[in-house]
Amino acid sequence: MIRFLKRYFKQSLIALTLLMSTGQMMTASAQGGHPGEFLVTQRWQYLLSSRNALANPALINEENYLSIKGAYSSIMNEFRLFEVGAAIPINLYQTAGVSILHYGVSPYARTDAQGGMIGDSISDSKTYVALTYAINPWKGLSIGANINLLSENFDAVKNFSAGVDLGITYRIINNSFLGHHVLGLDLQNLVMATLNPATNTQQYPRTLRISLNSTYWERRVESSLELAYKDIGTPGTEFLNGAVSGDMDLNARVGVWIFRIATVNGLLGWGPEGPEHLGVSIGANFPSMNNGRDLSVAYQFLDVLNGEDQDAPNHTIYIKGDFGKHREEVYARRMAKLVNYLPNDLYVKAINFYNQGNFWDAFFIFSQLHVEYPDFFKNDWVSYFIGSCQEEMDMRVTSEEAYRQTKEKFDRSAAVPFADLGMMRIYYRDNNYHLVERQFNELNKLGVPDSLKYHAYYIMGQSEMSQGNNAKAKQLFDLIPETHPDFVFAQHSAAVSEATGGNIEGAISHLENCIQAPVTTKAQKEIVNRSYVFLGYMFYEDLTKQEGPLAKAVTALRSVPKESYFYPDALVGLAWTALKARQWADCMTAGQELITIAPSVVLKAEGTLLVAYADMMQKNYAAAASLLEGAAKDLEQFTGPDEGGYSAKQQEYESSRSSYTQIARGAYDLGTARQSGFVLKQIDSLHTLQKDAKAKLDEFLKFSDNYKRTSMFAKNVQSVKEDVEYALAKAQKLAGSKVQIKENQKANEKANAIDQQLEDLKKQLEQENKKKEGQ
């Protein structure tokens, strides 16, 4: 689309000389043809012409990523060209693109017809914008078009033009041995018109180009062949000698890739007068640095072989990068979205309920999904979550069944190890250690994520501990890495295991690991608090034989925050430690706080007992007795569980659990029924029953926990009761003795005073008797 500026011929002679040196147009210029045929030849970017919209708009369909490229070309540092362009795949079959070029020569001196300098200088530059669209409508055929806008600025005269290029390509061969070949046909400037017809009567050259772009053996070898027939329909009057019109050029390129990183290309141009140019290019591609996409740089050198400007070689630098997503990935994403959104929405809703801890509602939505959308692509997880919701609601039997079903129906799903872990937890809670071990073996198989394996180690360790295999348990706990969420739990359990085996230093080491580990969840924080209490207990009992054990115990126990579940235990520990250290005031403070905050009668009584001890140590027996009397009354009224009571409660619990399983089965039946108004009502009714039954189960578990509460400082109800009664008796006795001593002292004093009086009277009588005898 470069035109011949006949009327500026004399002034632009130097420019012509420079422009002619770019290769293909050499022949034309030598014959007085079109100057500045850069856009016609595109030789500056010959290296990338196999995918260039300017060479053939249909070729951009060969791009698979958002592709951005740039080129800079220079001839003798006088002529410069810049190009930037982008191709954007729209879908599997369509691509859009844009190219912007700016080129021109440095301002040069104006000359007369004889070449003499006139004085001022001339500027000459052009800016070209092409918008491209290509589509693959049928078989291997792609059709593309450029809409071109050209702005020319020559010697302060501006001209604007617009035009259209049309190109087609056809993928003729894709063969593993013969290579991949794309045949192209392009008509440049099919339509081109000036937008300033009054001032510009120039005609733009029309070029027909046939190309064959080929790659062989996974692009190890590349080649391009191009035959261009130029100036189609341009009148001879447009040429200097008035006769030349339509010449042909042949351009060829062959390149090889070395290790898919470096490339070397040879270029050859052939015109009517024989070889026109010879070139070489080197380049490198770094797809590994760009996530598998092209990221390449290249340099091209062209040497002109004939004509008057053979000494004006052309240097070009290229850069090209692919970005974004591959065409196939875009299509795959789009297809993944073309599904029924309802099951997706239900799934998300159910997951949200699950994460909020609303397992009842989550369960019914998962069940609905399971029944109404059997082809939902996440049905393996749906099946797993049905089991998990039931597990969270402590519906052990039905949960285990659901997990088992997940394993059977979706045997290769990633949900299977999660189901295995869920089953393992249920078996552990049911004290079914044989099945715990079976699940542990399942979770130790190849392909199970490490994170799940570590969970399994923890549960298995707990199971071993429950069976008294402390050494095995400790081995398993030690396998859990610090980064795993179960690390703190495992370390605490390992400490218990060590302490049980008499290795106190080892226990302390594990407790320190637990305390120092980074924690985020509430459960993790609580186990750390429990570790503090345990540590305090071991120091209190002086099991460590370390120096200053009581001070260390106090430090550990004071680390338990007030909001912790273990704070009352820490207070009990602090009070006992203070008592042992003869710090009566501290003991009383801790005991009094315990009385205030303790959640149970038993703990309150223990607090009272400690305060009473402190009082007694300060000889406040009466105050101590008074406190203990209150505690003793409370304990008397407290119907704490005895062995028989506990057994009865346990039987009641078993019965409740059986009923609860029936409720769980009912829930499952309702969940897997097609949802209707009637079913929804039944679900609501069942929820009330479920909550009541679950409350009963929880109540027993709490009761059992209190009954078995013998760990560390805290004592069970019987023990506290006995201690309070003993202390009360002692205090009362001591208080009673003190009163007697005072009374005796008073009597003695009185007797002494009487004796003294009697003595005085006796002395008086003796003196009077002597006086009488003397008289």
Partner 1 sequence: MSHFLTTKQFRFSLLLTAGLLFPAIVQSASVQVPSMGIKTISEAMLRTRVGDTVWVEKGVYRERILIAPGVTLASRQLFGAVIDGGGRGIVVTMGKSTTISGLEVRNGTIGVFSNGSGNTITQCRIINNWQTGLMIVRHLPKVEDNVIAFNRASGIQGWDVRSTNATINHNSIVYNGNHGIAVGGSSELILENNVVAFNERFGIKILSQAERIQISNNNFYRNLQSPKPIPSGNFSFDPAFLAPRTNMNFKSDPARCCKAKGTDNEELGARLVY
> Per CB under 8 A, does 342 bind partner 1?
no
- Give the residue with the Cβ less far from partner 1, 171 or 694: 171
Neighbours of 408 (CB within 10 A): 11
Binds partner 1 by CB under 8 A, chosen from 121, 201, 237, 288: 288
Q: Judged by CB under 8 A, does residue 345 bind partner 1?
A: no
Residue 175, classed as helix, strand or coil, is strand
| Residue in the block written with tokens 């060479």 | 55
Contact indicator for 66, 323 with CB cutoff of 8 Å = yes
Q: Are 456 and 428 in contact (CB under 8 A)?
A: no
Q: Residue 56 or 61: which CB sits closer to partner 1?
A: 61
Q: Strand pairing partners for 475?
A: none
Closest approach, Cβ 720 to partner 1, in A, equals 52
Comparison of 93 and 299: residue with beta carbon closer to partner 1: 93
Taking CB under 8 A as the binding criterion, the range among 5-13, 330-338, 453-461, 672-680 that sits at the site for partner 1 is 330-338
Residue 177 as a binder of partner 1 (CB under 8 A): the answer is: yes
Nearest to partner 1 of 293, 715 (CB atom)? 293
Question: Contact between 638 and partner 1 (CB under 8 A)?
Answer: no
Which one of 6, 10, 121, 138 is in contact with partner 1 (CB under 8 A)?
A: 138
Query: Which of 117, 262, 317, 414 touches partner 1 by CB under 8 A?
Result: 414
- What x/- string results for residues 9 through 48 when contact with partner 1 is judged by CB under 8 A? ----------------------------------------
Mark residue 518 as left, alpha or beta (left: phi above 0; alpha: psi -120 to 50; beta: remaining): beta
CB neighbours of 336 closer than 8 A, spacing ≥ 6?
none
Q: In 3-state terms, what secondary structure has residue 518?
A: coil
Q: Which of 51, 69, 126, 180 binds partner 1 (CB under 8 A)?
A: 180
| Binding status of residue 171 toward partner 1 by CB under 8 A | yes
CA distance 604 to 596: 8
- Name which of 556, 500, 491 is nearest 529 in CA terms: 556
Q: What does the block give as tokens for 365?
A: 């939505």
Q: Which is nearer to partner 1, 172 or 264 (CB)?
A: 172
Q: Rule CB under 8 A: choose which of 10, 109, 117, 175 binds partner 1.
A: 175
Interaction residues for partner 1, span 357-376 (CB under 8 A): 375
Q: Residue 675 carries which DSSP code?
A: P
Site string for partner 1, 421-450 (x = CB under 8 A): -------------------------xx-x-
The answer to the question of residue 213 lying near partner 1 (CB under 8 A) is: no
Binding to partner 1 by residue 263, rule CB under 8 A?
no
Which ranges in 45-128 belong to alpha helices (H)? none
Which pairs with CB-CB distance under 8 Å and at least 24 residues apart come from 395-404? 395/660, 395/661, 395/663, 395/664, 395/667, 396/426, 396/429, 396/430, 396/657, 396/661, 397/661, 397/664, 398/661, 398/664, 398/665, 398/667, 398/668, 399/426, 399/664, 400/426, 400/427, 402/668
Residues 140-159 that bind partner 1 (CB under 8 A): 140-141
H or E element in which residue 344 lies: helix 341-356
In the list 218, 652, 654, 722, the residue contacting partner 1 (rule: CB under 8 A) is 218
Judge whether 383 and 409 are in contact, CB under 8 Å.
yes
Q: Give dist(CA 367, CA 350) in Å, integer.
A: 10
262 binds partner 1 (CB under 8 A): no
198 binds partner 1 (CB under 8 A): no
Q: Which token pair is 445?
A: 């198989």
The binder of partner 1 chosen from 110, 181, 315, 378 (CB under 8 A)? 378
722 touches partner 1 (CB under 8 A): no
Say how far apart CA 57 and CA 136 lie, in whole Å.
12
Question: Based on CB atoms, which residue is closest to partner 1, 447 or 644?
Answer: 447
Q: Could you say whether residue 92 binds partner 1 (CB under 8 A)?
A: yes
Binding residues for partner 1 restricted to 507-526, rule: CB under 8 A: none
**For partner 1, the closer CB: 119 or 137:** 137
Pairwise CA distance, residues 234 & 242, whole Å: 11
Instruction: Choose between 2 and 87: whose C-beta lies nearer to partner 1.
Output: 87
Identity (one letter) of the amino acid at 686? L
Pick 92 or 342: Cβ nearer partner 1: 92
Binding region for partner 1 (CB under 8 A) out of 8-16, 28-36, 404-412, 686-694: 404-412
Question: What is the distance between the alpha carbons of residues 65 and 287, in angstroms, rounded to a whole number?
Answer: 13
Residues that bind partner 1 (CB under 8 A): 64, 92-93, 136, 138-141, 171, 174-177, 180, 217-219, 260, 287-288, 291-292, 326-329, 331-333, 335-336, 339, 375, 377-380, 409-414, 446-447, 449
